[in-house]
């Protein structure tokens, strides 16, 4: 676990003042405020107590993040846009009004439970602020208007300009949303921010097919645009950390068989996400990675970002089954996943619980596992199966 602790060692006064301030405001302090030995000690105590009494949500999380066994596995149901239905909001309202989104996500947290909320709106937030025109359907997730891409040709990469966060409407909305959630959730759970990786943002402004070809034919132009985007994203994740989130999730979809080859990803996106991850860690927050592609390059992502958590939907490229996944990566990173979307879509809650039970059996041994869907809970699906997920964590975890 790559928790940044130098602030705690080198500046005890600053450490204490931030710790006191965070705790008094009713928020979970970022793990980076604490020395590693203190986190390990707390996790060991919680793990020992877990066999006697139920742990609080935050205790369960700390125990899991330090790879110790909690009373049961934590759960992150990843109910994001689906939560809008609990407050009767439409997709466009959820995506564009931070107060409505806050109400919806809090309703989801109260209704479902679980230990972690990942408040993201959709994958176009950052691209929209760079100037990509958007479509906000009434019955589906917002997306770029691909008939009008911001980057229309190779020359367009060079025309991309840095934006100021205060002028970035959609990112600013999330920076309004995060403190509301952090304050309301308090010690009952963890709020984890979200940021699409720079290649993903570029994909939203160029279109996947063109971007993929450009990665081979015009890598210099692509990487120049990535540089511009990354500068803004670093500022964005730092602002998320300042808003009180426990960690920030970086989505690096293209580090998988669905994207670039391992070598190309390490060359084109790896260095940029390394800088973003470093900025998050410097703020004392957790680094989480989400990648719902097939054959995710776990080892490359660990090397570049040193994440605390990897959220995934399919086995990594170098593991043939869950047993191998746990053996290879179980002590390097907290595994979060990976109930598949189709199963949630067509199965009964009982079937979902049985699948979760098997997953917990295979992956939860020794801590370091968070039960979650492999990707966002389907936004138009009833919430029965999300409840089944949370209940399975509690019952079988």
Partner 1 sequence: MNRRSRPLNDMDQQRDVLITLKRSVGAPGADALKEWVDRAMKESIPVHDIRCALIQGVETLRHRLMSSDFGMPDFLLSIDSVLDGLDMLSGMEDAGSMPDTPIVIGVVKGDPHDLGKNIIAGIYRAYGYRVVDLGRDVCSDAFVQGVALNGAKILGISAMMSTTMSAMKDIIRDVKAKYPETKIIVGGAPLNEVLASSYGADAYVESAVSVIEQTMAILDTD
In the DSSP assignment, the letter for residue 379 is: T
Neighbours of 348 (CB within 10 A): 11
Nearer to partner 1, 35 or 378 (CB): 378
Nearer to partner 1, 49 or 267 (CB): 267
In the DSSP assignment, the letter for residue 273 is: H
Residue 397: CB minimum distance to partner 1, A: 25
Residue 352: CB minimum distance to partner 1, A: 13
Nearer to partner 1, 125 or 163 (CB): 125
Rounded CA separation 106/390 (Å):
16
Contact 71, 54 (CB under 8 A): yes
Rounded CA separation 197/239 (Å):
16
Nearer to partner 1, 116 or 199 (CB): 199
Burial label for 357, CB within 10 Å (0-12, 13-18, 19+), is middle
Residues forming beta bridges with residue 196, ordered by sequence position: 251
Residue 299: CB minimum distance to partner 1, A: 10
Q: Which residues, in sequence order, are CB contacts of 260 under 8 Å at separation 6+?
A: 199, 212, 215, 254, 268, 269
Nearer to partner 1, 215 or 237 (CB): 215
Residue 115: CB minimum distance to partner 1, A: 24
Interface residues with partner 1 (CB under 8 A) are 135, 137, 139-141, 143-144, 146, 208-209, 212-213, 215-217, 257-265, 292, 294-295, 297, 317-318, 340-343, 345-346, 375, 378-381
Residue 152: CB minimum distance to partner 1, A: 16
Residue 215: CB minimum distance to partner 1, A: 5
Contact 74, 60 (CB under 8 A): yes
Nearer to partner 1, 247 or 374 (CB): 374
Structure tokens belonging to residue 389: 């997920």
Residue among 363, 317, 318 at smallest CA distance from 337: 363
CA angle, corner 163, sides to 103 and 191, nearest 5?
Answer: 30
């Amino acid at each position: 676990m790559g928790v940044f602790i130098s602030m705690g060692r080198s500046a005890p006064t600053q450490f204490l003042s931030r710790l006191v301030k965070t705790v008094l405001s009713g928020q979970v302090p970022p793990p980076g405020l604490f020395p590693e030995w203190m986190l390990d000690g707390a996790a060991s105590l919680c793990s020992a107590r877990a066999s006697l009494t139920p742990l609080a949500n935050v205790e369960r999380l700390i125990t899991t993040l330090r790879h110790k066994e909690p009373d049961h596995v934590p759960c992150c149901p990843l109910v994001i846009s689906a939560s809008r239905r609990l407050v009767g909001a439409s997709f466009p309202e959820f995506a564009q009004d931070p107060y409505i989104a806050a109400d919806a996500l809090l309703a989801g947290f109260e209704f479902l439970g679980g230990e972690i909320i990942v408040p993201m709106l959709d994958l176009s937030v950052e691209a929209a602020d760079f100037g990509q025109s958007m479509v906000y359907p009434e019955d589906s997730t917002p997306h770029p208007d691909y008939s009008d891409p911001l980057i229309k040709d190779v020359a367009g990469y060079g025309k991309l300009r840095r934006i100021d966060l205060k002028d970035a409407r959609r990112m600013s909305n999330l920076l309004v949303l995060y403190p509301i959630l952090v304050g309301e959730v308090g010690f009952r759970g963890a709020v984890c921010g979200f940021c699409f990786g720079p290649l993903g943002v570029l994909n939203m402004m160029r279109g996947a097919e063109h971007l993929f070809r450009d990665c081979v034919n015009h890598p210099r132009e692509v990487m120049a645009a990535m540089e511009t985007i990354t500068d803004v994203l670093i500022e964005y994740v730092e602002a998320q950390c300042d808003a009180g989130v426990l960690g920030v999730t970086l989505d690096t979809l293209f580090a998988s068989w669905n994207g670039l080859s391992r070598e190309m990803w390490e060359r084109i996106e790896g260095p940029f996400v390394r800088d973003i991850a470093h900025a998050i860690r410097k703020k004392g927050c957790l680094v989480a990675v989400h990648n719902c592609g097939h054959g995710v390059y776990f080892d490359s992502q660990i090397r570049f970002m040193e994440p605390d958590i990897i959220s995934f939907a399919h086995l990594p490229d170098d593991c043939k089954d869950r047993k191998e996944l746990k053996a290879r990566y179980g002590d390097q990173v907290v595994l979060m996943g990976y109930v598949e979307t189709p199963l949630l879509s067509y199965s009964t809650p009982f079937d979902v619980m049985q699948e979760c039970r098997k997953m917990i059996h295979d992956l939860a041994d020794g801590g370091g596992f968070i039960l979650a869907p492999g990707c966002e809970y389907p936004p138009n699906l009833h919430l029965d199966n999300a409840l089944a997920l949370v209940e399975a964590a509690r019952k079988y975890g």
